[in-house]
Amino acid sequence: MNVEHYVPLAPRCTLRVGGPARFFVRAQDEATLVAALEWADAGGVPVRVLGGGSNVVIADEGVDAMVLRVGLRGRRLRLDPDGSAELTAMAGEPWDDLVEHAVGLGCAGLECLSGIPGLVGAAPIQNVGAYGQDVAGTLARLRAYDRIARSVVTLGASDCQLGYRDSLFKSGAPDRYVVLDVTFRLRQGGAPTVRYPELATRLAELGLSAPSLIDVRREVLALRRRKSMLLDDEDANVRSCGSFFVNPVLPAEEADRLERRAAVGAAMPRYPQQDGTVKLSAGWLIERAGFEKGQRRGPVGLSTRHALCLVCHDGARAADLLEFAREVRDRVRDRLGVTLTPEPVLWGFRDPGF
């Protein structure tokens, strides 16, 4: 195990801001990962696990912790006679490569999650989701290192406590587990999931009444590209962490009151949930509060294509980004009565104001 010191983190994150890691370890195998965690725990050193850097904001002063860069690679497939398939990927596998692989195998269940940046190990932590699918829909189990038990454990889907952009690893027992690999249960030759209205409309426009997995993946990537939700260095909006705020979920009665208050002259997007609550569009709320796509505050601002993305430009600092994020949150709260919460994790801030 090689412990590096004061390693820059900005080049390793999609926002490209933030200071260095006090300690930095590259774990290409499980033995190195476990040794690094034991070294940190023995010395009382905080640990931060870095994947693709697409869902993290790092303070300009850096992180006084050991940043563990997970590089475990490998995939394996098991086909079952009942038509299901179990696809296992190590935590360091790029997420979209796994989705492309599943689609190429003709295994349904991940196709709408195409184009999401980051690594496989982060997917269950955030319960990543898009266009009508999320990890909870296909997660079978995962292996993780338990820092309390000091052993490798296997957790089933129910153990992971997956919710909307939440999990055991995010809010139930943060910092306890480090994901090693994830197994998904997919459907051999299954039909793609087409329940998201925007995706369904686009497929209908193309005359695809029975789209293939490849069709759905292609159109999801196209939708994400039009919203600057793909990592493309030629895109002026590329320096973001995707959606900066979580779409709020409210009781139906509260959503009704908000719609009466906010949606004069415009229908408020509403996404009813199985438990009777209603998920709202944070991007719509931001625009309804008076912000416009492309609006700038010096070197930071909103994406020109999606109001939910906060973007860094030349000269930006993490402090600039959070100051603007607080302005957005405060105006939405003051004008509409809804408090938005950040989706990315915030590292190294003494008081980020969230």
Q: Catalytic: 254?
A: no
State the maximum Cα–Cα separation within the chain, in Å, rounded to a whole number: 61
Cα–chain center distance at 275: 23
Long-range contacts of 216-223 (CB under 8 A, 24+ apart): 216/111, 216/112, 216/114, 216/192, 217/99, 217/100, 217/103, 217/111, 217/114, 220/111, 220/112, 220/114, 220/115, 220/130, 220/131, 221/114, 221/115, 223/131, 223/198, 223/199
Q: Catalytic: 243?
A: yes
Q: Catalytic: 165?
A: yes
Catalytic residue among 202, 243, 287, 288: 243
Catalytic residue among 165, 202, 224, 288: 165
Closest CA to 2 of 24, 34, 29, 30: 24
Catalytic residue among 4, 61, 86, 343: 343
Q: How many CB atoms lie within 10 A of CB 171?
A: 11
As a whole number of Å, the CA-based R_g of the chain is: 20
Residues known to be catalytic: 165, 243, 343
